[in-house]
Structure 1
Amino acid sequence: MKKPGEVFADSSLYDPGIEAIVPRYDELHDAILNSPPQDRTEEIRVLELGAGTGELTAKLLTRFPESTVLAVDHSEGMLAEAERKLETFGDRADIVQGTFPDDYPTASDEFDLVITSLAVHHLPSAEKRTLFDSLADALVPGGWFVNGDVIRFDASHLETVSSAMIANWVRSKGWEEEEFMNRWQASDEFDDPDALTDQLLWLREAGFESVTSVWQYYNFAVYGARKPA
């Protein structure tokens, strides 16, 4: 049974496939990794929710060579790809199967940084708010949460513009959108994005400060917030 985030039936095809359907995918990752205040030489403990094939995990472990990551995903296929990709990092990457906010973070967790990419939009609004509350508890004082994700526009014409932009992006990669979607079995039925303004408000209500939007390209955005020191 297909799960949220399993956009492609064969997980080994996720990396090339996601770059064909998410515009500026690498730029979104760069915005996430450029957002934390930590110096690259610091020892930081990171939680990644919805780690998928470990692509963002590998980039973070490379950029922050003293970091360790607890990488969480609920897809067996994705985790198999992540284990292969992250093997070179040894015990700096701890890969576990689980869901969020139900399984992670736990009440005993303490992280300097929590990141997630293209995953939180699968949660309904109430569960996003529950997640933000639990992240406020799991971060150390001064710790940051950074998310790169799909957002929803309240204006219907902007949703239409965004859909057309994605279709054009897929074509630029050599695919017709319908053919691409049929072949890769996209899991749109699990998508439940919320407006960026709502999510920034929910972070404030969860007790975060320095709540900010870092990067946006149509309906893809990177935003973050800090737990008070």
Structure 2
Amino acid sequence: MSFEHSDVKIKFDENASQYDGQRKKLIPCFDDFYSIAISLAETKTKNPQILDIGAGTGLLSSFILEKYPDAFVTLIDLSEKMLDMAKERFVANQNITYIIDDYTKIKFDRKYDVVISSLSIHHLSADEKKQLYQNIYSSLNQDGVFINADQVLGQTHFMESLYKNDWKNKVERSGLSKEEIQSAYERANLDRMSTLSDQLKWIEDSGFLDVDCVYKYYNFVVLFGRK
């Protein structure tokens, strides 16, 4: 595990118990952001194999299980404490597998119909993102889909400044405490975001078809690719 990944693990371990309660206040476009990601997760299989990369507390997986209640879902995350929250969420579901590991290092031993991720891949370096997209492509069944609901870097310094200022202005008015806001800013300092254009190219270069940014709200995006 690299130093940077260790930092991410520590910060998310610290915030695990408060994570879900803060989501709507830290993601101004929360409803569209998650609902569009789920709407893109189309498969003909009634009990699909689904992989949630950087699953955290299982928030995105909880939404996809509303759509596919008989799905088999694998959650992988660095943070054991975040996955502990997911285990509490899914305590009655026997179709959930939990992996505490660095998803940039692991080789998945099965094929999936849907691979999803939310607010995780932006913590990776450019090279790690490229390799991960290749690994995701290899892990999908034919006609499988990949959906990444994440954050991207502004294409120019001006646009990045605009994105950051808009987010900070909304967070400051969100009702979160000063301590919660400071913690969010500290986690944001660990971000290693890449531009939208770079990410779309890397996903396409990995072999995906129909690659698109289906939704965008400042730096919050939902990216799609099909095998």
Tell me the TM-score normalized by structure 1. Answer: 0.89
Query: Within 2, Cα distance between the matches of 1:11 and 1:17?
Result: 11
Task: Please point out which of 98, 103, 113 is paired with 1:100.
Answer: 103
SS of the residue 2:186 aligns to: coil
In the alignment, what sits opposite 1:23? 28
The residue identity in structure 1 corresponding to 2:157 is S
Name the structure 1 match of 2:75. Answer: 71
1:185 offset after TM fit, Å?
6.6
CA distance in 1, matches of 2:206, 2:193: 19
Report the TM-score when normalising by structure 2.
0.90
CA RMSD of aligned residues (A): 2.0
Structure 1 position 4, deviation (Å) = 4.6
Distance 2:137 2:46 in 1: 21
Letter of the structure 1 residue corresponding to residue 165 of structure 2: A
Q: How does 1:33-182 map to 2 (within 5 A)?
A: 33-38=38-43, 42-88=46-92, 90-103=93-106, 105-106=107-108, 108-175=109-176, 180-182=180-182
Q: Displacement of 1:54 after TM fit? A: 1.0
The letter of the residue matching 1:61 is: L
**Match in the other structure for 2:3:** none
CA-to-partner distance for each residue in 1:35-70, whole Å, 9 max, x for gaps? 12225x722100000110111111111211221100
Comparing 2-11 with 195-204, which one deviates more in the overlay?
2-11
Identity of aligned residues (%): 27
Structure 1: unaligned runs, 5 residues or longer? none
Please list the CA deviations of residues 135-167 of structure 1 after superposition, one character each: whole Å capped at 9, or x if unmatched: 111000110110000100122121121112112
How many residues align? The count is 222
| Structure 2 residue ranges without an equivalent (≥5) | 1-5
Distance 1:122 1:28 in 2: 18
CA deviations over 1:88-131 (Å, ceiling 9, x no partner): 2x21211221111212x42x320001000000001100010100
